[in-house]
Structure 1
C-alpha cells in the first residue's frame, strides 16, 4: 500500500513558466524528522544554493523543517520538474551518504503552487520563514538556523 495513494494527482495539470514564482513543498519519507540533525539540513541547503548558483532558480525564501521543506523561488531556464528532480536526487545522495544509508529519503512527488502576480511575495516569504515559530520549535526566528530569505 502506498503512503501517498494520490501522489500521482500532484502532477496532473502541472505547468512550468519561466520567470514565475513558485512555492514548493517536499516531505521526508514517512515524515521522519531527519532534519532535526542540523548537518543533514545543511546538505539540503547546499542543493538549494546549487540550483540558485547554476541559474535554474532565483531563491527568494526557504525553510527546512524537521520533516519537510518550503522553498519559494523564481523559475529561470529550467522546468519545475527538472529543478525538483535534481534537488531531491542530489540531496538524497548526499544525505544518505552522511547517514550511511541507501533508504528512500523523500516521499514521492511534491506540492507546488504558482504565485499569482497580485500576491505579495514578501508576505509569502515571511510566512514561510515563520514556520519554525508556528511549529513551536523556537521562540525567535533568529534561534532557528535552517532558513533564509532574499
Structure 2
C-alpha cells in the first residue's frame, strides 16, 4: 500500500473524480434523481458549496468549497456514496471481502481529489468539468447535456451557451 496522503486544508476548494466500479455501467444517469437526493441530504447534514459538477454515466467530476474550519470531504463522500447505494437493490457483483465487510460493489473504493491552488487552477478544473460530456462523446453541444452545472454557469454569464473550448490540459493528469 502506498503512503498517499490527502491534502486537508480547512475551507478550501477541491476537485474530485468519483467512479463506479463497473466503468461500463450507466447507473449514475439512470439513477440521477437518487444521486441528487443523496447529495442534497448530505449537504443538509454536512454543508459544502458546489462550485461545479458533471455527472456522466459511469463517473462524475466536481469542485466543492468546504466551510471555514472544515476539511472533512471524506465524510461527505462517504455519506453520498452510502445514501446512494443503500437505496439500490443489491444485484451488483461483490467480492468475498465486500461481503465480509458488508460493502456494496457499486463504487470504486477510492476517488481522486486535488486541492485547488490558485485562480488559474480553479478555472482549468472548472472548464474541465464542464467540457467532459463533449470530451467523452456524449453530446456535440454542451448545452445538450442535462447533468451538469454548465447550465448554471451559462445563466451566471460565465460561459456563452455555445462554449466548447477544450481545456488547456490533458485528462490523464486529472483523475481519469
Unaligned runs of 5+ in 2: 93-104, 153-176
Seen in structure 2, the aligned counterparts of structure 1 residues 84 and 29 have a Cα distance that, compared at 3 Å, is: same
Match in the other structure for 1:126 = 127
Q: Which has the higher strand share?
A: 1
Pairing 1:8-87 to 2, within 5 Å after superposition:
9=2, 12-35=4-27, 38-76=29-67, 77=70, 79-87=72-80
Q: Which has the higher helix share?
A: 1
Q: What secondary structure is seen at the aligned counterpart in 2 of 1:33?
A: coil
Q: Distance in 1 between matches of 2:81 and 2:18?
A: 9
Q: Distance in 2 between matches of 1:116 and 1:78?
A: 15
Bigger radius of gyration: 2
- Alpha-carbon RMSD: 2.3
Match in the other structure for 1:5 = none
Pairing 1:71-110 to 2, within 5 Å after superposition:
71-76=62-67, 77=70, 79-94=72-87, 96=88, 100-103=89-92, 104-110=105-111
Unaligned runs of 5+ in 1: 1-7
Q: Deviations over 1:29-48 (max 9, x none)?
A: 12132236x44123212223
Q: Distance in 1 between matches of 2:138 and 2:24?
A: 16
Question: TM-score with structure 1 length normalisation?
Answer: 0.78
Aligned length: 137
- Cα displacement (A) at 1:19: 1.2
Seen in structure 2, the aligned counterparts of structure 1 residues 55 and 107 have a Cα distance that, compared at 3 Å, is: closer
Q: Distance in 1 between matches of 2:14 and 2:51?
A: 10
Q: Distance in 2 between matches of 1:71 and 1:116?
A: 16
Question: TM-score with structure 2 length normalisation?
Answer: 0.67
Moved more, 56-65 or 111-120: 111-120
Q: Distance in 1 between matches of 2:34 and 2:60?
A: 13
Q: Which has the higher contact order (CA 8 A, sep 6+)?
A: 1
Q: What secondary structure is seen at the aligned counterpart in 2 of 1:147?
A: coil
